[in-house]
Amino acid sequence: MAATSTPLDKSLPCLSAKGIGVVLLLTIAYGIVPLVGSSYLYEAILTPFLALSLAALGLNLLTGYAGQLSLGSSAFMAVGAYAAFNLSLRLPFLPLPATIVLAGLVAALAGLVAGLPALRLRGFYLAVSTLAVQFFVAWVLNRFSWLSNDSPSGIISAPPLVVAGLSFEDARGRYLFSLTVVTLLTVLAWRLVTSPTGRNFVAVRDNETAARVIGVKVARTKLLAFGLSSFIIGVAGVLWAFAYLRTVEPAGFNLDRSFQILFIVIIGGLGTLRGAFLGAGLIVVLPLLLSRFGAALLGDGFDSGTLEMCQRIVLGILIVAFLIREPAGLSALLDRAVRRLRPSA
């Protein structure tokens, strides 16, 4: 795995600069965006951006920090989403936050089971075996219609987003709801990666044998990484289903989505928390920009199919070029940019 910036190398002045950055971002996200944003911004950009960032954050814990490659992320999103749906349907007295936490725990449980092969397999062998989870979850959701409340079409619709009498039903509300969940979980993830457990993750990633020598319980650490990562990805699935799309079908959580999340992690930067957000920003916004740019360049009358195929090619080229130019991800790019801005530091 890429030995990018580990959580260990945070020097103090840098940390405070980062702290200021985070506070600034949160001020903008909570204070300014809700005042100026349009419904398009919330519904089509920010809410999916937040849900995907969270999923990427979860995967990054597993892949970036603990070094375990997984191609089944969207299956855990599906588990989270369907668990939350069933909990809110069958235990209607549960408050929404409790539902979300429980759904995350169900996803974590699924993650633990899926993580078992990691005790014996590594690398692509492990990656391909996580595909078993991907297809198995899809089959289960399809097979047992009870899970979608026997809806003849297998589609689930989200319950109203109401917490303690406060409704988050409109576009802005759903954005703020997602933002809060993502912020909370990011803080937790940050606490985790700076804790001894987080250091164990990195030790297992960098050298399993050495980790064992210094007394890290490798099997336990791997399973923990799978569980925690799946918890976060599961909650991301709840946001995807409840705050973003509102009605989902199992097919929405397919292999392409898993790859998308992996893309976000790699492009954002393995083993960094902010990489998940940077990568998600790029993956969500880039295709939209390309299509706007293409339409503006070629005019409205241009065949939209041809345009879209060109975009696909451009997107592929950009990904490859990016991996060649900046294999450590956007996060490293950001670091360099910041350093250049402050030559004194």
Partner 1 sequence: MNPDLAFFVEVLVGGLLSGVMYALVAIGFVLIYKTSGVLNFAQGAMLLFAALTFVSLTERGVPFIGAFAATLAVMALLGLAIERAVLRPLVNQPPITLFMATLGVAYVIEGAAQLAWGTQVHGLDLGIDDTPIDLAGILVSRFDLFAAAVAGLMVAVLSLFFRYTRTGLAFRAVADDPLAALNTGLRLPRIWAAVWIASGIVALVAGLLWGARLGVQFSLSLVVLKALPVLVLGGFDSILGAIVAGLIVGAVEKLSEVYLGPVIGSGIEGWIAYVAALGFLLLKPSGLFGMRSVERV
Partner 2 sequence: MPAFRTALRSVLVAGTALVALTGSAGADEQHFPLQSYRVGPYAAGGTGFFGGFIDYLNLINTRDGGVNGVKLTWSEGETQYEVERGVEVYERLKSRPGIAAWNPLSVGIAYAMVDRITKDKVPLITINHGRTDSTDGRVFPYVFPLLLNPYSETSGIVEYLGSREGELDRLKGKTIAVLYHGSPYGKETIPIYELLAKKHGFKVEQIEVPHPGNEQQSQWLTIRRLKPDYVVLRGWGVMNPVALKTAQKTGFPANRIVGNVWSNSEEDVIPAGEAAKGYVAITTQASGAEYPVLKDIIKTVYDGNTGNLADKKRIGSVYHNLGIVNGILNVEAVRAAQAKFGKRTLTGDEVRWGFEHLRLDEARVAALGAKGLFHSINVTCANHEGDGRVTFQQWDGAKWKVVSDWIAPDWATLRPIIEASSATYAKEHGITPRNCAAEENATHAAAATP
Interface residues with partner 1 (CB under 8 A) are: 1-2, 63, 69, 117, 120-125, 127-129, 131-132, 135-136, 138-139, 142-143, 255, 259, 262-263, 266, 270, 305-306, 309-313, 315-320, 323-324, 327
The residues, ordered by sequence, that sit 6+ positions from 299 with a Cβ below 8 Å of its Cβ are none
Query: Quick one: which H or E segment has residue 248?
Result: strand 247-248
Q: How far apart are CA 269 and CA 202, in angstroms?
A: 15
**Which among partner 2, partner 1, none contacts residue 152 (Cβ within 5 to 8 A by kind)?**
partner 2
Using rule CB under 8 A, residue 43 touches partner 2:
yes
Q: What is the DSSP letter of 272?
A: -
> What are 313's two structure tokens?
């090619």
Instruction: Identify the residue among 105, 116, 154, 180 touching partner 2 (CB under 8 A).
Output: 154
**Which among partner 2, partner 1, none contacts residue 344 (Cβ within 5 to 8 A by kind)?**
none
The residues, ordered by sequence, that sit 6+ positions from 3 with a Cβ below 8 Å of its Cβ are 206, 271
- Rank residues 180 and 291 by Cβ distance to partner 2 and give the closer one: 291
Give which of 51, 288, 28, 25 is closest to 175, Cα–Cα: 51
Give me the 96-135 binding string for partner 2, x by CB under 8 A, dash otherwise: ----------------------------------------
Give which of 256, 258, 257, 251 is closest to 154, Cα–Cα: 251
**Number of chain residues interacting with partner 2 (CB under 8 A):** 52
Angle at which helices 123-143 and 96-115 cross, to 10°: 130
Q: How far apart are CA 164 and CA 235, in angstroms?
A: 19
- Rank residues 207 and 247 by Cβ distance to partner 1 and give the closer one: 207
Token pair 């075996």: residue:
129
Using rule CB under 8 A, residue 317 touches partner 2:
no
By CB under 8 A, name the binding residues for partner 2.
38-41, 43-45, 48, 89, 138-139, 142, 145, 148-149, 151-155, 157, 244-252, 256, 278, 281-282, 285-286, 288-289, 291-292, 300, 303-305, 307-309, 312, 330, 333-334, 337
